[in-house]
A and B are shown apart, each in its own frame.
Chain A
Amino acid sequence: MKKQPILNRLCVWAKIPTDGLYSKKYTSNRTYSVGRELGVASTDKPVYAYAKNYKKSKLDFSLFMYSDSSDEKVIEEFFDKSISKVTAQVVADALVIASSNNFEYTELEFKESVA
């Protein structure tokens, strides 16, 4: 079965080739999982991909996340707050396996109301 991104779960991955917060909007085809449910992005319920570069212990990497939130400011704040909870070891592990399909999920979950 094809793997799906877990919505609103923060991930650690390789550095991306752009500065600042990257975002991309999906309005179709983008499937995702929420708990045990499978969702599909639509015009009414779009899904967004976000990513931003960080540096920790001399390691360049990115945090990324698929989310149903369109609030870039809140998402970026969540990323910036979460970076302190991502250990250098997790980053190092993520960079070892980082590829187009491999990355590390964190335990950090985005909740719009508490971000």
Chain B
Amino acid sequence: MSLPYPTKVVLPFDIATAQDMNERHANDVALAAGTGLNDDVVTLDKMDYSSFPRFFAYKSGAAQAINTTTAVVALQTTLYNVGSAFNTGTSRFTVPAGKGGVYNIAMAGGFGNAGSIRATFIARVNGTTSYVGTAVENTFVRGTVAVDIPLVAGDYVEFIITTSGTASTSTGVGNVYFSGHVVAKD
């Protein structure tokens, strides 16, 4: 892949024309959309992260009761699971050997019985350290959050939801999911 327009040559005395601006905009859009690859600038899309794990897991089974007790959200199915680092049996993402780095972890949860409750999304590392994602109250129906977490090999991450009262999750790929990918290598 390459960008829609070639890299700009900026000579001395150069003046940006309307066409230049349009082409730069088109290139920016292509980069943002992931459909273009800038051949001259080192960007995230040009770094080789192909050997790093990435996953997208979601709840495909029955709705899960959630209450004030900390509980791991059970995620039975993966949309993708490169490197097989996500275990659907334990609903954990475990960083493989040599794959440490900063990982972006995204969490989404929906509740069928939306009401006056408070829900908190947590990415919990090694069963102890919690990265609190969000807290939504009263009119809560669905929430999504992402956090960047520094992880080393062997660390595992779970998706936790706690609520101020008893609630029940929705199910399905568009309602309850947990995903992650590396954004910076160690």
Interface residues of A (CB under 8 A from B): 3-5, 11, 13, 16-18, 22, 24, 26, 28-30, 49, 51, 64, 66, 100-103
B43-74: contact bitstring with A at CB < 8 Å (1 yes, 0 no)? 00000000000000000000000000000000
**Sample of 24 A–B contacts (CB below 8 Å):** A3-B13, A4-B13, A5-B12, A5-B13, A13-B11, A16-B11, A17-B7, A17-B9, A17-B40, A18-B9, A24-B9, A24-B14, A24-B17, A26-B17, A28-B17, A29-B15, A49-B13, A49-B14, A51-B9, A64-B11, A64-B12, A100-B12, A101-B12, A102-B12
A67 to chain B, nearest CB (A): 12
DSSP class of B's interface residues: helix, strand, loop or mixed?
Answer: loop
Judging by beta carbons under 8 Å apart, are A51 and B11 in contact? yes
By CB atoms of chain A within 10 A, which of B9, B11, B14, B15 has the most?
B11
Residues of A near B12 (CB, < 8 A) are 5, 11, 13, 64, 100-103
A29 to chain B, nearest CB (A): 5
Residues of B near A49 (CB, < 8 A) are 11, 13-14
DSSP class of A's interface residues: helix, strand, loop or mixed?
Answer: loop
13 extra A-B contacts, CB within 8 A, seeds A18-B6, A51-B9: A4-B13, A5-B12, A13-B12, A16-B9, A17-B9, A18-B7, A24-B9, A49-B11, A49-B14, A64-B12, A100-B12, A101-B12, A102-B12
Interface residues of B (CB under 8 A from A): 6-7, 9-15, 17, 40
B7 closest partner in A (C-beta): A17
A110 to chain B, nearest CB (A): 16
- Please measure, in the bound complex, the distance between the C-alpha atom of A51 and the C-alpha atom of B17, giving whole angstroms: 18
Residues of A near B15 (CB, < 8 A) are 26, 29-30
By CB atoms of chain B within 10 A, which of A28, A49, A51 has the most?
A49
B83 to chain A, nearest CB (A): 35
Residues of A near B9 (CB, < 8 A) are 16-18, 22, 24, 51
B42 to chain A, nearest CB (A): 13
B65 to chain A, nearest CB (A): 59
Judging by beta carbons under 8 Å apart, are A100 and B10 in contact? yes
Residues of B near A11 (CB, < 8 A) are 12
- Please measure, in the bound complex, the distance between the C-alpha atom of A13 and the C-alpha atom of B10, giving whole angstroms: 11
- Please measure, in the bound complex, the distance between the C-alpha atom of A13 and the C-alpha atom of B14, giving whole angstroms: 13
- Please measure, in the bound complex, the distance between the C-alpha atom of A17 and the C-alpha atom of B7, giving whole angstroms: 7
A65 closest partner in B (C-beta): B11
